[in-house]
Amino acid sequence: MSVTPEQAAEIEALRAETRPTLRATSAGMEAHLYTAYPVLDHGFVRVVDYMGDDAAICQAARVSYGRGTKSVQNDEGLIRYLMRHWHSTPFEMCEIKLHVKLPVFVARQWIRHRTANVNEYSARYSILDREFYIPERDALAAQSVVNNQGRGEALTGEEADRVLRYLRDDAMRAYDHYEEMISSDGQQGLARELARMNLPANIYTQWYWKVDLHNLLHFLRLRADAHAQYEIRVYADEICKVVADWVPFAFRAFEDYRMGGATLSSTALDCVRRMLKGEEVTQETSGMSKGEWREFQAVLG
């Protein structure tokens, strides 16, 4: 379960009451505010606050006055231009604050994105809940044999059974012992900051994470990518849906230029030019290594 009944009630209450503001608002984003979107077995992501919209990007780009009341066609064109030419500062003028519940091993990848603000639930101060990520059976990927960092097919049969049993049993036992160690029932009780070291990396934590749109899109480019680990990609995918409603022009440009685009090296561009002139180019004549050639072929589809 992602949220408790109390939390669900609180979210409902927050969504029930609007107040007037003079600030720019994004109707698409207001529809998402506070709602907890489930991710994995116990996680969620929800927007807690935001600043700005597509018009704010244009406004900063123009260092103009007002909320950016230029025609839609112009705004989208400008945003596409900014994205295409890596003019990143106007995208920094939008900000989002998320509340995320996620397994610790996902949090450790996530935190590597340094240009963001974070407040995490403190296991020095508080007691962690008994909630662990246990993958779905079809997410039990085998180690890839072609790629050190990747995943192969899903495990099946007894091997899958055994993995799930280990993950569940070890988590439960570790948590039992965590509880016993911090218990002051007839004893002193180990400090929480020490007892937590017994807990495995699939335990859930949560944090507030605030980031500007430019850095968020960079995060999404890396983490919503097919090469990202599945368990962080599902968070990125959920965030993509929200961003698409928040800043639709910026998100469409992002999809076209970043997610769906590709960077070709000088050598690769040269190959494309030769091929367009009718030359038959092979890996041997391309000037690329086998790895690069394989990636190049994939880009050309």
Q: Give me the active site residues, please.
A: 223
Closest contact distance (angstroms) between CB of 248 and a copy of itself is 17
Sites for a copy of itself among residues 219-278 (CB under 8 A): 222, 229, 255-257, 259-269, 272-273, 275-276
Residue 263 marked ligand-binding: no
Helix (H) or strand (E) holding 44: strand 43-51
Q: What track of x and - describes contact with a copy of itself for positions 158 through 197 (by CB under 8 A)?
A: -x--xx--xx--xx-xx--x--xxx-x--xxxxxxxx-xx
Q: Are 75 and 22 in contact (CB under 8 A)?
A: no
Residue 109 marked ligand-binding: yes
CA distance to 121, 244, 288, per residue, from 201 (Å): 15, 31, 40
Q: Which amino acid is at 290?
A: K
Q: Does the footprint of a copy of itself cover residue 285 (CB under 8 A)? A: no
Q: What is the C-alpha to C-alpha distance for residues 23 and 207, in angstroms, rounded to an integer? A: 26
Q: Are 237 and 224 in contact (CB under 8 A)?
A: yes
Question: Closer CB to a copy of itself, residue 71 or residue 148?
Answer: 148
Size of the site for a copy of itself (CB under 8 A): 134
The correct pick among 66, 136, 138, 285 for binding a copy of itself (CB under 8 A) is 66
Residue keyed to tokens 């919209």: 53
Closest contact distance (angstroms) between CB of 272 and a copy of itself is 6
Which SS3 state, helix, strand or coil, does residue 45 take? strand
Please list the residues that pair with 99 across neighbouring strands. Answer: 46, 208
Residue 252 marked ligand-binding: no
Residue 121 marked ligand-binding: yes
Residue numbers in the known binding site for dUMP are 109-112, 120-124, 196, 223
